[in-house]
Each structure stands twice: as structure tokens, then as C-alpha cells.
Amino acid sequence: MPVELNTADPDFEAAFAALLAARAEFDTSVDPVVADILADVKARGDAAVVEYTQRFDRVHLTTDALRLDDETVDAAAGQVDAETLAALNVAAERITRFHEHQKPTDIAFTDPTGVRLGQRHTPVDAVGLYVPGGTAAYPSSVLMNAIPAKVAGVGRLVMVVPTPDGIINPLVMAAARLAEVDEIYRIGGAQAIGALAYGTGVIAPVDKIVGPGNAYVASAKKQVFGTVGIDMIAGPSEILVVADAGNDPAWIAADLLSQAEHDAAAQAILITDDADFAAAVGRAVEGHLKTLPRTAIAAESWARHGALIVVEDLMEQAPPLVNRIAPEHLELAVGDPDALAARVRHAGAIFLGRHTPEAVGDYVGGPNHVLPTSRGARFSSGLGVLDFMKRTTLLGCDSSALATIGPAAVRLAEAEGLQAHGLSVALRLNMPRPDARDGA
Amino acid sequence: MPVELNTADPDFEAAFAALLAARAEFDTSVDPVVADILADVKARGDAAVVEYTQRFDRVHLTTDALRLDDETVDAAAGQVDAETLAALNVAAERITRFHEHQKPTDIAFTDPTGVRLGQRHTPVDAVGLYVPGGTAAYPSSVLMNAIPAKVAGVGRLVMVVPTPDGIINPLVMAAARLAEVDEIYRIGGAQAIGALAYGTGVIAPVDKIVGPGNAYVASAKKQVFGTVGIDMIAGPSEILVVADAGNDPAWIAADLLSQAEHDAAAQAILITDDADFAAAVGRAVEGHLKTLPRTAIAAESWARHGALIVVEDLMEQAPPLVNRIAPEHLELAVGDPDALAARVRHAGAIFLGRHTPEAVGDYVGGPNHVLPTSRGARFSSGLGVLDFMKRTTLLGCDSSALATIGPAAVRLAEAEGLQAHGLSVALRLNMPRPDARDGA
């Protein structure tokens, strides 16, 4: 049974704090195993990758079969039915169009002292996209990770996807084709992350690695961070629904379950101002659970991590709770969602109104579905075009501008005891050498 | 002696690759010690912080003396001379003005299908700023880390700075005052990072931690990442100067030394198209080294990591080398720096022309001096306002918009085997229940 909380109860604060604190921490137990795999891939390259792929995926590949050739990819993609392919197309187009809006604007101006200032954005050269194999191989995630990279202008987008027992997922191949992935390798696990980070004979190294994966993949990404960039390490999915009694309880129950079905560790929370509605949603969840294929997972998530929270006043009491939870997904299923949204400071994505179930955003809304979990929305953002670009600042002085601002730099360099810093400015200004001035 | 390379030499490629590969990797040897300190601070709070501060900084503090009171801060800041304070003011004003340009624009539009789409930015609530004690306590770094946070709208900016043997750095206090830091605690090391991340009785936890530190601080930041956000882990400083023979060798030599003097592990590289000029710069470096106070550090950096690279054609051959180095700081000391800059894809900051020594940007240029090192400019950016804000995307459908885009979402949910996702959309569209359709 999910936790039931009511802000009117005297122990509400303690119970709510316990709910926040209960979210799982990252699993570090696999770190040493992963470190060994990474070191081996770094040292032995393709030979190590081939061996681990045989051991973990039960696929024997020669080095030159690590990369999926175009014919294989096209043949697999061709197995996708027309209706699903059309839906993938809708998704790809809407995701592309939204992310085009995220392209940054460069800065360039000359200030009143004559100093030229600027900031410009350039894409990352090469990006690796990890795609899990098996049941968690989601074509929508391929689109959500690959399209922002392509919109950013990434020249080389490399996908790795394990093919356990040799099975290639047609949906993933179709999504990769739609998103214009440039290279696909049939490898996974920590060995694939190592191959992307360090390069092998067959696989040229990339500059940044994104995409979801299991504990081994997450650990490997953390360990290669620095050598390459990485995206956030995702935790279990979460949804927080703020809903009044004007909703159909069956709709809201389905919304809660749409995240609960991802993972037994996922979390679904309802905040409402009507205890009877909360109870009705609870009953509707039980009803849906009787018929859903992923009932075992969803029921465990709901029982272990679910919560029904009743407040007296949604407008006043929900936003502070929302901000403390800082949810990955926030549904505002109320009559005036914008007024509530204006009071929310921390959420990965907000879904406005009664007709915007979170799942529509998972696929075809347009914004990204890769979002910060585990209260990460307090300090981080969903995946976007900026994650595949970087800023370079520009500064330009002529002799007159340097004469204006340079003396302050010399003074501060001396105060910090960095005389070569000061010297580099002072020489250009024909100032006394700071080191001479200090008698050093 | 620094390495001397010439693109005309047959072994150039091998020697250049070796230069790139020689950059140090992160030190992980202190990780276990740091993990123990963090766990102890998490468990025992202020008591642990007080004990570690006594042990490592030789300062005995009661719990209520961890925070520096306003009188102490003002008294210390008051010791800074007027000329230095004026220079700090110039720096703070110029940094503030540049970073104001980095404030992002929100997105809000309704697309042709009637779907409302948006993206908005909110500041991080609370940020911790680590400031090293002792010789590496730089007031300029306080400004560079604190001002972007304040421009972003961070409400609570908390500084931690160790005071070894009780000594408080007046310049750091003056910079903190200028940057409007809200709280200052006289603690450092891994224990300060733990206190900021987990909170103690006296120190409320923050959401993100930034700022430079030693190996213990860097390890602690990496270990608390996830609980809070962190900035990049900085490696040793680097400068790459591209200069033709039209420069005064003494100026360029001072520029190279301005980074070499930071750290024996720092790296300074010159690329020029004139072998005689390269030799003259080398001689000028030796000359400067005779008089600079930090000669021991700078000389070791120059001998171990320095390089003089001669190319035949700056315009054609320098940019590819620059992009492979992806330097933290790039000076283009040539007649037409913009033409060269246009060919550079990877650099933290670019300094344009003969009168823009890197050091002017360390203090008073305006752009941030916290920049990616160790080839990180391939995938990451200098510190900026966006590092203290996060994006929340918004999606809103009415029943008509959902009717247009919803069916594609239902189709993809079914294809991915996520029936509760499909159900949440299908119920609102009065579509047949996907789970019923699948006969589950």
C-alpha cells in the first residue's frame, strides 16, 4: 500500500521528510569490477571488447563485425510496421522542432572602454549514445538522445547497443535511422563505455557519452568522466501529480502507473486537496493493476514508493511540497495549471492541465524525456541542445583598452602573489616590472 | 627544457601525440580517506566538522564559531588597501556586466497543432562556494565563482574557506563582501564539502557546490555529486599561445609563464611559424625566470610540460593543433586574430591580438576565468550564469491537441511494451484500452 499523508496530521512533516529521504542512493558495489573492465579495454582495445561481448551477450564477433553494416541495420529497421514507423516519424519531427528552439545565441559586443567581448557556441565533435539491450531498449530514448545532438551540429554520432544472443531490435534500428546516427556498434555494458571513451582499433574515441544503462553502464560513465563528458546518471523514474477533484480518478491513476511500470524502484506521488478523490485514485490504481501486463513491477513500485498526499489548499500548500520533491515529471491536473506552475521552482518537466498526461511527453510532446531524477531538478536540467555544445568566451584589447583596464589586473596579480601574471600586462603598458617593484 | 617540435620533422605526429597523452590523470588515491570523512560528517554533523578542523587546520572552534560573524569579516576586509580594493571593484563590475549578457531567454509558444510548449529557467536555491586557504586563496576566484551565481539569482550563497592556524585572508573577505556572499564558514577540506552537501546543525545544506580545491576537495566533490550538483573538477592550468614573429618575445614569454607559475603541473605551449622567434621566446622565458618570485614552480612547469612548436603556416597548421589540444586558455597574438579564431572549435577562452595577455582575463576582462582544463574544452564550458540555473520544460495539451498527437504516443507506448503509458493517453481519447487490445 502506498503511504497516505495529510498536511493536517501532526506528524506530517516527519512523514514527508522520511518520504524524501527514502529515495535510493547510487549503487557503487560494481565499481571495482567496472574499473577492471575499463582498464582492460583501454589496454587491449578490440580484443577485450570482443571477449566481453562473448561472455556477457553470448555473441561471438570478429573485430570487423563489431560495427553493424548498413544492410543489417536497414533490414532490421524494415521489419517495423508502417503505423509504428509513422508514429516514430511524428515523434522525431516534433522533438526536432522543439529542440531547434534551444539553439543558443552567440554574444559579441564592444564595451565603453573599447574591450571586445564575446561568447560563441560550438558543437561537440563526436558523441557516443548508449542504448540498452533487451526489454529496456526504447526507440523513443534513441530519438530523445540523438536528435538534440544532431540539432546541435554534432558531426559524428556513434550508437552502441548490445545484441544479447544476437538479437537486433528493429525499433531501435528504425529510430537510429530516423535520427541519422552515423555509426552503430553491437556492444554494450562497461566494455562499450570504455570503447567509446578510449577508442579501440575499430572504434574512434568520442568526446561525450550520453544515454541510459544499468548499474555497470552508470558506473562506467562515472569512471570515464573527465576523459569524456557524460550526461546525468539517471535514477529510477518519478512522477508527481497535483490534481483536484475535477479529474477522472482513472486518468490520474493511469498517469501514476505510467511511471510505476518502469521499475519497481520508480516513485509515483499524488498531491490533492480532496481526501475522497485520493481514495478514488487509490482504488483506480488497484483496478488498473488487475489488467496491466507490467502489473508485478508497477504494483511493487506503488506499494513501496507510492504516496497519496492530501493538503487543504492546493495553491498554497502544493508548491512548497513540489519544490522539496523536485520531481522529474510534474503533472498539474487542475483548472488553472499556469498559476500553480508559476509557483514551482524545481521540476524537470511540467505537464499542464487535465489533458496532458506525462506519457504524451515521453513520446511526441517535443521536449526531452531525459530528465533529472532523485531531486536533481534542484540543480540540473533535462537533456537539450546545450548539452551537445560548449561555450568559448572571447576577449580582445587594443593598446588603448589594455591601458584602461590593465593596471587593475596588475594590482590584483601582485596582491595574489602572481608576478608573472602582472608582468605579462605590465610589459605591454610599459609599467615598472611588478617583480622589480616588489624587490624580488 | 621544454619540448621543441617542428611540423616539418618526420616524427612530429608521434611527438605531438605524446605531448597530448602526457597530461596527468586525476588522483584517486585519496578517495577512501575522503569517503570516511564524508560519512563521518554526514553522521555526526558539526561535531565531526569541529574535530577535523582542529586536526587539519589547527584551529579549535566551538560549534557556534564555525560561522564568521559580520564584524570579523568586515574587520578583515578593512585591512585591504584602497588601491587593491579599487582594483577588486573594477573586476567585480566588469565580471558582473559580462555575465549579465549570459542570462538565458525563456521559450513559450503554441505550435500549429495547438500544443503549448515552453522552457523556463530558474536559479538554484542555494550554492556553496569552496575557497582554498593559504597561498592559493585568490580573491579573483571568489569573484569569478560568486558573481555568476548572484547574476543567476541564487538566493543563498555560502562560502567555506579554511583558516589554517586561525589566519583569515583579508583579500578573500573583501571579495566575498563585494560579491555579496551570504554566509561564510571558516572550514575547509573534505569536511567542508560534506557539511555543504549534507548539512549540519549549524550549516543548512546547499544544492550545488563550486570552486577550486586540492585533491581532497576534488575527491569530495566527486563523491557528493548526485546529492548536490558540482562544477567541473579543475586540473592544472594551461595556456596555448599562437604567435607570429611580429610580437615582442618578452611579452609572449611572460604570457607563457603566467600559467606556468600557478603549478609545477601547469602547461604552457607556444605555436609559431618562425623558428628564430621560438628560440627568442625560449631565451626570454629563461630571462624572466631569473627574476620572478615563483621561479621554482614556473621553471619546473616549463621544463616538464612546456613546448615550443614551429609550423610552416600558422593559418593552416595551427588550428588543427589547437583543436587537438583544446586548451583552457588560447592566445592568438597575430595581426588578424579573428580569422584564426574562426577556425578554432575547442578552447575554454580565446584572447585576441597582441595586446590581450591572458592575465587580463584572469582579473578584469569580464568573462569567467574558471575554464575547462585537460582537453575538457572538447565537451564542456567555462563557468557561467547557466551553471547556476536549470531549465524546466512545459507542455500543455487541450483535448483537441491531445486528439491530434496522442494516438502516435499510444502506438509507441504499445511498441515499447509500456501499456500504462498508452492507457493514460487512450483513456483521455476514449480509445480502446491498449491493454485490452493486446488481450492482456
Please give the order of strands across the beta sheet that includes A208-210.
A183-185, A156-160, A126-130, A208-210, A229-230
* Per-position DSSP letters for A77-109, written without gaps between them: HTTS-HHHHHHHHHHHHHHHHHHHTTPPPPEEE
- Model confidence at A25, pLDDT cuts 50, 70, 90, reads low
Q: Which residues of B touch A257 (CB under 8 A)?
A: 420, 423-424
Check if B328 is active-site. Answer: yes
Three-state DSSP state, B140: helix
Q: To the nearest whole percent, how much of chain B has pLDDT over 90?
A: 92
* Residue B277 cell numbers, joined: 622567434
The counts of H helices and E strands in chain A are: 18, 14
pLDDT at A201 over 70: yes
Whether ipTM exceeds 0.85: yes
Q: Which H or E run contains B257?
A: helix B249-260
Q: Name which of B84, B390, B406 is nearest A415 (Cβ-Cβ).
A: B84
**Beta carbons of A293 and B440 less than 8 Å apart:** yes
> Across the interface, which of B350, B424, B440 has its CB nearest the CB of A255?
B424
Q: For B414, which residue in chain A has the nearest alpha carbon?
A: A84
Percentage of the residues of chain B whose pLDDT score is greater than 70: 97
Is B288 close to A423, i.e. CB distance below 8 A? yes
- Looking at B99, B288, B305, B329, which residue is catalytic? B329
CB A160 within 8 A of CB A128: yes
Q: Residue A284 — φ and ψ, nearest 5°?
A: -65, -35
- The separation between CA A370 and the C-alpha centre of its own chain, rounded to angstroms, equals 4
Residue ranges and CATH numbers for the domains of chain A are 3-22+235-365 (3.40.50.1980), 31-233 (3.40.50.1980), 397-437 (no CATH)
Q: Find chain B residues with C-beta within 8 A of A105's C-beta.
A: 105
| Interface residue A102 vs chain B (CB under 8 A) | yes
Q: What is the pLDDT of residues B245-290, one digit of tens each?
A: 999 999 999 999 999 999 999 999 999 999 999 999 999 999 999 9
CA dist., res. A411 & res. B174, Å (int): 15
Q: In the prediction, which pLDDT does B437 show?
A: 44
Which residues lie below 8 Å from residue A360, measured CB to CB, with a gap of 6+?
A: A351, B395, B397, B402, B405, B406, B409, B425
- Strand A229-230 with A183-185, pairing: unpaired
Residue A244's identity, in one-letter code, is D
| Nearest-angstrom CA–CA distance, A195 and A204 | 8
Give residue-wise pLDDT tens across range B181-240.
Answer: 999 999 999 999 999 999 999 999 999 999 999 999 999 999 999 899 999 888 899 999
Cβ burial, residue A342 (10 Å; 0-12/13-18/19+): exposed
Q: How far is CA A322 from CA A13, A333, A340, B112, in A?
A: 14, 14, 10, 31
Sort out which chain B residues have CB atoms less than 8 A from A98's CB and list them.
117
State the smallest CA–CA distance between residue B192 and chain A in angstroms: 19
Contact predicate B406/B425, CB 8 Å: yes
- Asked if B227 contacts B194 with a C-beta cutoff of 8 angstroms, the reply is no
Q: Looking at residue A139, what is its pLDDT?
A: 96
Residue A191 has pLDDT above 70, yes or no: yes
Please answer yes or no on whether B111 and A366 come within 8 Å at the CB atom.
Answer: yes
Q: Pairing between strand B183-185 and B238-243?
A: unpaired
Q: A423 with B379: CB under 8 angstroms?
A: no
Q: Å from A424 to nearest chain B CA?
A: 5
> Whole-angstrom Cα distance, residue A30 to residue B254?
48
**Is residue A329 annotated as a catalytic residue, yes or no?**
yes
- pLDDT per position as a tens digit, B379-428: 999 999 999 999 999 999 999 999 999 999 999 999 999 999 999 999 99
pLDDT at A440: 35
- What part of B 258-317 touches A (C-beta under 8 Å)? 258, 260-262, 288, 291-294, 298
> What was the pLDDT predicted at B436?
45
Q: Which of A138, A386, A402 sits opposite B416 (nearest CB)?
A: A138
**Average pLDDT along chain B:** 95
Residue B29: pLDDT band with limits 50, 70, 90: confident
B356 touches A at CB < 8 Å: yes
Distance from CA of A384 to the nearest CA of B (A): 9
Instruction: List, as ranges, residues 35-74 from A with C-beta within 8 Å of B.
Output: none
Cell for A110? 564592444
CB contact under 8 A, B419 and A293: yes
How far apart CA B402 and CA A333 sit, in angstroms, is 14
Q: Model confidence over A272-283: pLDDT tens digits?
A: 999 999 999 999
Nearest to A91 by CA among A144, A132, A156: A144
Kind of pairing between the strands at A107-110 and A116-123: antiparallel
Which of A183, A329, A331, A369 is an active site residue?
A: A329
CA distance B409 to B415: 10
Q: How far apart are the CA of A420 and the nearest CA of chain B, in angstroms?
A: 5
The answer, yes or no, to whether residue A68 has pLDDT greater than 60, is yes
Query: Minimal Cα–Cα distance from A236 to chain B, Å?
Result: 13
Q: Are A227 and B396 in contact (CB under 8 A)?
A: no
Query: SS3 for A359?
Result: helix
Return the H-helix or E-strand segment holding A40: helix A31-44
Strand order, beta sheet including B126-130: B183-185, B156-160, B126-130, B208-210, B229-230
Q: CA-nearest residue of chain B to A90? A: B408
Q: Which of A238, A261, A328, A358 is catalytic?
A: A328
Q: How far apart are the first and last CA of chain B?
A: 74
Quote the pLDDT of residue B313.
Answer: 97
Q: State whether residue B374 sits within 8 Å of chain A by CB.
A: yes
Mutation choice for A interface testing from B350, B381, B410, B412 by most A CBs within 10 A? B412
Sign of torsion, CA A331 A332 A338 A342? negative
Q: Pairing mode, if any, of strands B389-396 and B229-230?
A: unpaired
B138 closest CA partner among B44, B240, B233, B211: B211
User: 575499430: which residue's cell?
Assistant: A202
Pick A91's closest partner by Cβ from B288, B337, B408: B408
From the list B86, B116, B122, the residue facing A345 with the nearest CB is B122
Interatomic CA distance for residues B281 and B33, integer angstroms: 44
In the predicted model, what is the mean pLDDT of residues A147-171? 96
* Separation of alpha carbons A240 and A243, rounded Å: 10
For residue B386, the chain A residues in CB contact (below 8 A) are 386
Contact A362 B208 (CB under 8 A): no
Do the chains contact at B397 and A360, CB–CB below 8 Å?
Answer: yes
Task: Give binding residues of A for substrate as ranges.
Answer: 237, 259, 262, 329, 362, 416, 421
DSSP class per residue in B292-324? -TTHHHHHHHHHHH-EEEE-S-HHHHHHHHHHH
**What is residue B207's predicted lDDT score, i.e. its pLDDT?**
98
Grid cell locating A286? 488497484
Cα-trace Rg, chain B? 26
Distance from the A294 Cα atom to the nearest Cα atom in chain B, whole angstroms: 8
